[in-house]
Amino acid sequence: MPSPVDKYVKQVKEQNPDYTEAQVWATAWSIYCKHKNPGSEHCKKPAGEYLKGKSAMDDTTVRVAAKFSVAPTVADRVASRYLKAMSAGETFESETWRIHRFRDSIRVTPLENAGKRGKKVVVMSVHTRGYGDDLPIESIALELLMHAKRNASSERMQKAIDEYIQVFAGKVEMYTTTQRGVDVMPAGFKNIAIQGDNVYVEAEYDSFRVKNQNDPNETTCIPAISGGKKSIPVFYRWVKDNESKIKGMKYYDVLRAMKDLGIDYHSYCAMD
């Protein structure tokens, strides 16, 4: 019996404790014949005939295939089929996790304490080292996405990363940074951008920008260096409540409204 099948059996059992022995073995062999070695003499059907229908999207199937496929082409094929939303530069967010994919690294942010004062957020950054197609970044991204969709615990996410560090010794590393909860954008927060007739406005979690569209010098205002940080949430709430009105306002109309709200800002010429 091919050795990968034994590994698949173990993984399928761990992820599906309610499966019967027959279901476990059937799933393991299907993974082997569809993803690992479709041309094997043990596989009696074309690869496309295995894991058809709902089972083809099963989390365990995809995870096991991605983790134990040594050939990078297999991981790439699985990732491209199930992980279109996690290409380099994109972000996935659930109620409890935010995952951002870079070309050769992944940033994993737990959101339980995001946006909260007096709390800490430990951000995990997974990096691949070296060059070549054998780096497992696609497989790692795939597995972490699966856990995020399940709202897994921090311990489970850490365990998944540790497994890759062990399997790909020297090629995968993880670093952690601790941030204040209040500095981390909470789940569900949406930045606002308004393109008006005379003014462009951006309201974000940690900043804002107002730009005069009628000024060739592109006069712009941002939070004041001193005291402006406290004004950011005030500005955001005002923008959210007045989106339609802002579209017809002029630059100095916006500044007057900000002054009335006590918002501290700094103006400068963007063309300087």
Q: Do 106 and 212 reside in the same domain of the chain?
A: no
Query: Does the pLDDT value for residue 263 go beyond 70?
Result: yes
Q: Do 170 and 200 reside in the same domain of the chain?
A: no
Euclidean distance between CA atoms 12 and 157, whole angstroms: 18
Concatenating the DSSP letter of every residue in 228-258 gives GGGHHHHHHHHHHHTHHHHHT--HHHHHHHH
Joined together, the tokens standing for residue 196 give 């008006």
Query: Does the pLDDT value for residue 268 go beyond 60?
Result: yes
Concatenating the DSSP letter of every residue in 90-124 gives -EEE-SSEEEEE-SSEEEEEE-TTTT-TT-EEEEE
Joined together, the tokens standing for residue 128 give 């691949």
**Residue after which a domain boundary falls, among 165, 188, 211:** 188
**Residues near 113 by beta carbon (within 8 Å), at least 6 away in sequence:** 119, 120, 121, 181, 184
Query: Does the pLDDT value for residue 211 go beyond 60?
Result: yes
Q: Do 78 and 165 reside in the same domain of the chain?
A: yes
Q: Do 200 and 180 reside in the same domain of the chain?
A: no
Euclidean distance between CA atoms 176 and 42, whole angstroms: 44
Which residues span the domain enclosing 236?
A: 192-269
Residue with tokens 């501290």: 264
pLDDT of residue 210: 96
Q: How many CA atoms lie within 13 A of 4 on its CB side?
A: 22
Q: Do 64 and 75 reside in the same domain of the chain?
A: no
Residue 103 backbone phi and psi in degrees, to 5: -60, -45
Q: Do 50 and 119 reside in the same domain of the chain?
A: no
pLDDT by residue (tens digit) across 32-58? 776 677 777 777 777 666 665 544 445
Q: Do 49 and 89 reside in the same domain of the chain?
A: no
% of the chain surpassing 70 pLDDT? 79
**Residues near 35 by beta carbon (within 8 Å), at least 6 away in sequence:** 47, 65, 69, 74, 77, 78
**Residue after which a domain boundary falls, among 53, 68, 83:** 68
Q: Do 93 and 200 reside in the same domain of the chain?
A: no
Reported as type and span, the H/E element at residue 22 is helix 21-31
Whether pTM exceeds 0.75:
no
DSSP helix/strand/coil, 210: strand
Q: Do 54 and 77 reside in the same domain of the chain?
A: no
**Residue after which a domain boundary falls, among 14, 44, 68:** 68
Q: How many CA atoms lie within 13 A of 179 on its CB side?
A: 19
Chain centroid to Cα 119, Å, comes to: 22
**Looking at the 3D structure of the chain, how many domains does it have?**
3
